[in-house]
Amino acid sequence: MSWEVRIMRSGTSYFNFTLFRKNLARFWPIWGLYGLLWLMLLPVNILVNGEYMSRADTRILPLGFLTGSLSAAATFAFLFGILAAMAVFSYLYSSRSAAFLHSLPMRREGLFLTNYLSGLAFLIVPNAVVFLTAVAVESAFGILVFSSLFTWLVVTSCLNLFFYSFAVFCAMFTGHILALPAFYGILNVLATGLCFLFQDMASRFLFGFTGASWLEDVAVWLTPLVFLAYHTDIDYGTVNTDPCFTGLGYVFLLALVGLVFAGLALAVYRRRQLERAGDVVSVSWVRPVFQYGVAFCCAIALGTMFDSIFSSLLPRNAWALLVWMLLWGAFGCFVAAMLLHKSFWVFRPCWKGCAVFLACLTAAMCLMELDGFGFETRVPAAAQVKSVFVSGVRTYPDDDLRYPTYGIDDPELIEEVTRLHRRITEEKAWLEQQTDVRTGGWSIDEADGLEVQTAYGTDLRLTYTLTDGSVMERYYYLPVTAETLADAASPDAMLQTLLNTPGLSEEMYLGGVSGDDRLVDAVLTAVWQDEYPGPNQRSGFTEEYLPAEALAELEQAVRADLAAGDLGRRYLLEDRERLENCCYCDLELTYRVAESTKEPATVRVSETAPAGSAQQASTYIITITLQKSASNTLAVLEKYGIDPDTMLLSQAQLRLSES
């Protein structure tokens, strides 16, 4: 007689519908609130206003919720993504619930998949319901635009997938439910925040640092909300009734990244230690990364902030900033250790690691400050420069070249720019001391009582395009005083000499005038009249329009003076030379474009202006301050009844008459 015992094998599943259904029932407020918000924004909005809406309105309405970093779609995906992840994976943050659920006859993969899909359903299912409801409402009013609603459904669901998956990924690294939203929020903006803080810090340690465009690009790609602002928009096309969403490829990319995060989260979940429930960081190898990452962020963020707060009491230089960074770096290191060890007594086991961290931070900052990479002293050879832009310089007089951007490709001028650049690097120590002072000064000349400027400053930005295609950019602040301008070897004197190179101002003023553009009007903005027409026959300034027959001769004279450097001279201070040479009057030249290749401009004219100065859609104005040294221009004006001595007052004459 034989006995046969049959044993039923326990099955393991990769999905548990009961748990899925329980999650939906237990956490209904999350998906209920999410669905209600979208119902109010789309179907209910259309239902209430449908009789007043056209197909053009319903085409643009769903798309308007999709574009930008703070769009409704991005904001809801960001907020409800973390809420859904906190809900369905909340069992990981309690030892009892984690042990219970992992004792069920389910593989870890099955438990993860069930909870992951539960949270994702909180977002995707309401999207589908809202979409179908909106389609029904628009159809009822006869204003259905299926493409816009379907675009809304696809984009919103992709954003939900990304932000929810990223939240789940963050959930795998912590055992504390309050740490999860903190990690999620910080990591979403960490790249942009660190980029901003690093560039601010680098500007203090690296003389001439103006920013790193490659770092900004990386920060944009690593910050989802900023990424959406840069790469999503509405294209209205040729007519306003046919808009479409742009950036769908970038949205699909985010969705793909979301799937990658989900896969990585599963990989971490499979090896997660259940006994870590309640810990701030639940993955062993991430714990030191967390500790020194917090220390580094505290050093940069809090160090920079407190350095700014106490800038009026302490020296504002790189070494003072380093002290603040070391102080707050140590603070962050020990606070992070307290969170990890769940104890306040962490000095003994952590002081060695903190000391090593602070030593590395000091070495890195000293390497930057002492120019270990040769950044501060690097000046490209003139032969290596294809072109250079000189910008940011504040000059007088206040006409079209007040804040110019000089594009220079002439080899001789490039040589002058590089010579100026080298001189600036040689004066690094003094210029760094003056950067935070930025004072101005005026004095009154005892001889005639004229008030002149004796001290000010200007910014200078140099942007080189090198022959190998790379771009090199530097920024400096140059203090300007009467004494340094008198020294031809000083950086500010060299800069003023460069800007007054004969022909350079001509290119800046008139470089945009093509051969077919025609001068149609010329007006003097402030001509002094001892008795100009009026009821009281009083003295004052008035506008004077030159006759049409004077235009060709005037243009030739202006070009001659600009080429010789007698007109368009630039000054870094309102000193006596600037006040005596520059007139209070500007010359406004109105050109008509032969072919409309320039942006339309509005020409301001008075009722007494010639007919040729009527408003034209294809005209533009060039404003040049008249200067006493412009002999050719003044001779033409005198020929047509404008006395330079009595009618074109200099700044000095005007100020003395008012004092």
User: What average pLDDT does range 223-233 have in this prediction?
Assistant: 90
Q: What is the pLDDT of residues 321-371, one digit of tens each?
A: 889 999 999 999 999 989 888 888 888 888 888 999 999 999 988 888 787
Would you give the distance in Å from CA 381 to the centre of its chain? Answer: 31
- What pLDDT was estimated at residue 244? 87
Return the closest-CA partner of residue 591 out of 526, 510, 504.
510
Specify the higher pLDDT residue, 564 or 279. 564
> What's the average model confidence in pLDDT over 399-418?
92
Q: What is the pLDDT of residue 533?
A: 55
Backbone dihedral angles phi then psi of residue 246, each to the nearest 5 degrees: -115, 145
Q: Residue 309's pLDDT is what?
A: 86
Identity of the amino acid at 638 = E
pLDDT of 370 = 82
277: DSSP letter: T
Residue 501 has pLDDT above 90, yes or no: yes
Domain ranges for the chain: 17-273, 291-369, 382-499, 506-658
Residue 604 pLDDT level (bands cut at 50, 70, 90): very low
Q: Report pTM.
A: 0.77
Average pLDDT over residues 76-95: 93
Buried b (16+ CB within 10 A) or exposed e, 142-173: ebbbeebbebbbbbbbbbbbbbbbbbbbbbbb
Lowest mean pLDDT among 46-50, 51-55, 596-600: 596-600
- In angstroms, the first-to-last Cα distance of the chain is 131
The residue with greater pLDDT, 80 or 311, is 80
Q: Does 85 have pLDDT greater than 90? A: yes
Residue 531 in this model has a pLDDT that exceeds 70: no
Cβ atoms of residues 383 and 214 within 8 Å: no
User: Under 8 Å CB-to-CB from 445, ≥6 apart: which residues?
Assistant: 451, 452, 576
Spatial separation of the C-alpha atoms in residues 348 and 350, rounded to whole Å:
6
- Cβ neighbors of 503 (< 8 A, separation 6 or more) are 562, 563, 565
- Mean of the pLDDT values across residues 4-11? 46
For 238, the token pair is: 């040729």
Q: How far apart, in whole angstroms, are the C-alpha atoms of residue 346 and residue 334?
A: 7
Determine the pLDDT at residue 591: 94
Mean pLDDT of 126-131: 96
Sequence-distant (≥ 6) Cβ neighbours of residue 414 within 8 angstroms = 382, 385, 387, 388, 408
DSSP 8-state code for residue 278: T
**Alpha carbon distances (Å) from 154 to 149, 243, 367, 543, 632:** 9, 17, 49, 61, 68
pLDDT in the model for residue 411: 93
pLDDT given for residue 239 in this prediction: 56
Instruction: Please choose, from the candidates 339, 330, 345, 346, the residue with its C-alpha nearest in 3D space to the C-alpha of residue 295.
Output: 330
- Structure confidence by residue, pLDDT tens digits, 546-562: 999 999 999 999 999 99
What confidence score (pLDDT) does residue 200 get? 81
Which pair of tokens denotes residue 639?
A: 């020929």
Q: Which of 37-51, 155-169, 188-202, 212-226 is most confident?
A: 155-169
Q: How confident is the model at residue 608 (pLDDT cuts 50, 70, 90)?
A: very low
pLDDT band at 478 (very low <50, low <70, confident <90, very high): very high
pLDDT in tens, 55-70: 888 889 999 999 876 8
Q: Quickly state the pLDDT bin for 205 (edges 50, 70, 90).
A: confident
pLDDT of 605 reads 38
How would residue 165 be classed by pLDDT, with cut points 50, 70 and 90?
very high
Strand-pair partners of 621:
590
d(CA 607, CA 614) in angstroms, rounded, equals 9
**In 10 A of CB 549, how many CB atoms?**
9
Q: Where does the pLDDT of residue 82 fall: very low under 50, low under 70, confident under 90, or very high at 90 and above?
A: very high
Residue 616 has pLDDT above 70, yes or no: no
What's the confidence (pLDDT) of residue 402?
A: 87
Residue 455 has pLDDT above 80, yes or no: yes
Of the candidates 522, 524, 512, 507, the one whose C-alpha atom is nearest the C-alpha of residue 553 is 522
Higher pLDDT, 551 or 3: 551
The mean predicted confidence, pLDDT, of the chain is 87
257-299 pLDDT, tens per residue? 999 999 999 999 988 877 777 788 888 888 899 999 999 999 9
Q: What is the mean pLDDT of residues 480-489?
A: 92
155 has pLDDT over 60: yes
pLDDT class of 317 with cuts at 50, 70, 90:
confident
pLDDT of amino acid 131: 96
